[in-house]
């Protein structure tokens, strides 16, 4: 399986540096442009299946890509962004949030832990490997989910994990055997 992973286009909360987990923040005009640019970049790639988060910013990005590249479009709850609990809507550079981000086994107060997120995302990746052998799959999701997907394929130190970030409509490629 060839796995492509992208983060949704820019949202209003991205521009404001707000922590955006489960809040359904819409794409900005720039986010829509980013999705169209990524679709053009991928137009020569055979994409068999696109799987996206149920949040509108990911679904809209996926639909734009599908309109250019084709492929079956599926929505999977396991790709929804991490639940950041009490930090939702707060400054993403706040000391309290960054300190909690380094505690992988601890839930964000009122939310979920990195380990909980990894459990659901790894399960999806295992299913993709089994069900989409010799196919190309594009996952359209969120920065926190992209970070966890990267750890499925590459070991990261705790520091590298907390610093990992994929820009809006950035693209990661993985080959799965």
Residue list for the binding site:
7-14, 57, 81-84
Q: How far is CA 79 from the centre of its chain?
A: 7
Written as six digits, the tokens of 3 are: 């796995």
Catalytic residue among 8, 88, 112, 150: 8
Q: How many other C-beta atoms can be found within 10 angstroms of the C-beta atom of residue 99?
A: 9
**Contact at 8 Å (CB) between 46 and 114?**
no
8 is catalytic: yes
Which residues define the annotated binding site for substrate? 7-14, 57, 81-84
H helices present in 11-93, as ranges: 12-15, 29-42, 56-69
Determine contact, residues 58/8, Cβ cutoff 8 Å.
yes
Q: Of 81, 88, 112, 142, which is the active-site residue?
A: 81
Cα(78)–Cα(65) distance, rounded to whole angstroms?
Answer: 20
81 assigned to active site? yes
Active site residues: 8, 81
């Amino acid at each position: 399986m060839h796995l492509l992973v992208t983060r949704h286009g820019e949202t209003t909360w991205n521009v404001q540096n707000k922590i955006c987990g489960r809040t359904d923040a819409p794409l900005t005009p720039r986010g829509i442009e980013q999705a169209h640019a990524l679709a053009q970049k991928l137009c020569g790639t055979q994409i068999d299946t696109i799987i996206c988060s149920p949040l509108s910013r990911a679904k809209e990005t996926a639909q734009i890509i599908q309109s250019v590249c084709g492929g079956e479009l599926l929505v999977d709850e396991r790709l929804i962004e991490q639940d950041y609990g009490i930090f939702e809507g707060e400054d993403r550079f706040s000391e309290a949030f960054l300190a909690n981000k380094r505690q992988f086994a601890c839930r964000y107060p009122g939310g979920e832990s990195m380990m909980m997120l990894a459990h659901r995302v790894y399960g999806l990746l295992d299913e993709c490997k089994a069900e989409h052998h010799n196919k190309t799959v594009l996952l359209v999701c969120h920065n926190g989910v992209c970070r966890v997907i990267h750890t499925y394929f590459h070991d990261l130190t705790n520091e590298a994990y907390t610093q990992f970030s994929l820009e809006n409509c950035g693209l990661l490629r993985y080959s799965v055997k």
